[in-house]
Amino acid sequence: MLPMKNLRWLWLLVTLGVLAEGFRVAMFVVPPDAAQGDVQRIFYYHFASWCGMGLFYLINLLGSVAYLAWRNSKPATALKADSLAVTSAEIGVVFCPVGLVTGSLWGRAVWGIWWTWDPRLTSTFVLWLIYIAYLLLRRLAAGPQMRTLAAVMAIFGYVDVPIVYMSTRWWRTQHPQPVFFGGPNSGIASSMMPAVWWNMAGWMMWGIWVASLRYQSIHNEQLAEEEDTRQSLETAL
């Protein structure tokens, strides 16, 4: 069985291959959009970043719930879950502005403006701020109480994720209809789907690779904090 370090680098090589194929298919294989032309190719990266954001915010939610559920009965497992929650929040906070920037580039070409307070854009921007606040809260102080407070914040913050997803269904927006499950006139042509799948897979794999690096670092920091707290209590006694 491959050591974790070797497995991690093998994962990176496969990820780079998938990303390269995604770029090739998106730029040179799939046809341009009938209405938007070649500028629509930005969409493949825009959509992939949204999917990555959604995946890692979901992991953050699950990690936060697990921490709250196990913090008393299984503290070691709960600490791992909390480390995973923080790691995934960091990756989600990276994916989110990529989606906003690529969306602005696309919007400038299609709508003629860089930014509009469209419900999808606004709810996504608010979501980004929520998770930035979550990470700042984690940096302010350490300890079980702060981890508990941050976990509760993450759970409530996740409420905005389905709002982002449903915004184009609930309100009239400048955004196009959803790619999946949006109705008979939504989505993109089947000839363009290979670019969607390759880029979505590649960028999610990249996020998982970065998360594998950050998780160990964050978990080691938390273990060190726990040890410092324990030693401080022993000294006080």
Q: Any idea where the domains of the chain sit in the sequence?
A: 17-27+35-180+188-231
The answer to pTM > 0.85 is yes
So what's the pLDDT on residue 184?
57
Q: How confident is the model over 6-35, as a mean pLDDT? A: 93
Closest CA to 167 of 127, 200, 224, 196: 127
Judge whether 92 and 53 are in contact, CB under 8 Å: yes
Given a cut of 70, is residue 177 above it in pLDDT?
no
So what's the pLDDT on residue 234?
64
Q: What is the pLDDT of residues 30-59, one digit of tens each?
A: 998 877 888 889 999 999 999 999 999 999
Integer Cα distance of 173 and 164 in angstroms: 12
Q: Within 13 A of 124's CA, how many CA atoms are on the CB side? A: 30
Integer Cα distance of 158 and 154 in angstroms: 6
So what's the pLDDT on residue 223?
86
Q: Kindly give, in sequence order, each residue whose CB lies less than 8 Å from that of residue 21, ignoring residues fewer than 6 positions away.
A: 198, 202
Query: Over the range 69-90, which residues count as b (16 or more CB within 10 Å of their CB) and which as e?
Result: ebbeeeeeebbbbbbbbbbbbb
Given a cut of 60, is residue 97 above it in pLDDT?
yes
Judge whether 15 and 209 are in contact, CB under 8 Å: yes
Q: Judging by beta carbons within 10 Å of its beta carbon (0-12, 13-18, 19+), is residue 200 exposed, middle or buried?
A: buried
Integer Cα distance of 120 and 34 in angstroms: 24
Q: How confident is the model over 119-145, as a mean pLDDT? A: 90
So what's the pLDDT on residue 233?
63
